Structure 1
Amino acid sequence: MNEIPIVKPYSNEHQDQVVDLILQIQQREYNIPITKEEQPDLFTIKDFYQKGHGNFWVAVFKDQVVGTISLLDIGNNQVALRKMFVDKNFRGKRYKTAHLLLDRAITWMKENSIKSVFLGTTPQFLAAHRFYKKHGFTSIGIEELPKNFPLLQVDKKFYQYSLT
């Protein structure tokens, strides 16, 4: 039987591993020229994400953070899905890390009466595009985003998932 990662809410003990994982994927795997200084939310996760209808989770395998996902409360019972990253060794069917993370986030949305979730991603994340579509997200144009959606410079592709 394969062991699988455990998804749990972020706590400060995960800080360094979360930053390392996200930067590794952004910079080295996808060559996106973004620095940790350009992502101050990574250093204030509790204050930035874990408030209102928002939260931040980590997938942990043998004390190592191998995945992240967050929901940012943007008001009107809507959230923005942010910081979904999975270590390349934990992607796919063997560990189901992305699926576990997304399931946890969707459960949270249902428990908190969230109507819909929006996300922005980069054109380079082709596997992510397929993943979101496979899990019921619909591609939308930038003009369909809520006014309070936190638009990032690197985001060029957008999706929505409705719970109503």
Structure 2
Amino acid sequence: MAALIIKTIDNRYSQQVVDLILPIQQIEFQVPVTLADQPDLQDIDNFYITPGGGFWGAFEGDLLVGTIALIATGHNAGAIRKMFVRKEYRGRETGVAQQLLDKLIQYSHQQHINDLYLGTVDILKAALRFYERNGFNVVSKKDLPSYFPVMSADNVFYHRHLL
């Protein structure tokens, strides 16, 4: 594996983001979600960056191999979204997911974001273990703050207070 580069990405990368995420959602995990359900993928700037969040990509050369995004929700909090890694780049060996999460947490500290929330689906067992290893705790949907943007497909929710 060549050197991995983590960088901020914007609307110029929208098609690469769609080409990475949709097959993972629809084909690999059979999550019933379409591009129409995710307008944020085609307007990264306005959904993530302009309001104070971010969107990062992991690249091996020109190939986008992973993504993670942060919605700045106000209240010194943020919502993690769009954490996806190509199958052949997953796992501790490559460290792609960890590097992406570390970048998001570093940015959160800089922005005085103290609480991170995320939603995911229970069939993504490796993702659940990854979040728990990284200090995220399961919270019930009813205990999420009112400002957390719930996605309809999500059925497991996590919170981590940053120190």
Per the normalisation by structure 2, the TM-score is 0.96
Task: Determine if contact 2:66/2:86 at 8 Å carries over to the other structure.
Answer: yes
Structure 2 residue identity aligned to 1:50: I
Show the counterpart of 2:39: 40
Alignment map for 1:1-164 (pairs within 5 Å): 2-164=1-163
Q: Considering only aligned residues, what root-mean-square deviation do their CA atoms show, in Å?
A: 1.1
**Structure 1 gap segments, 5+ residues each:** none
Counting aligned pairs with the same residue, the percent is: 42
Report the Cα distance in structure 2 between the residues aligned to 1:39 and 1:106, rounded to whole angstroms.
Answer: 24
Matches of 1:4 and 1:122, distance apart in 2: 31
Write out per-residue CA displacement over residues 47-94 of structure 1, whole angstroms, 9 at most, x where no aligned residue: 110024310001111201110000001111100000000000111123
Aligned residue pair count: 163
Structure 2 segments unaligned to the other structure (5+ residues): none
- Structure-2 change in CA distance of 1:27 and 1:111 (3 Å): same
Alpha carbons 2:11, 2:43 under 8 Å: kept: no
Rounded to whole Å, the distance in 1 between the matches of 2:107 and 2:152 is 27
For normalisation by structure 1, the TM-score amounts to 0.95
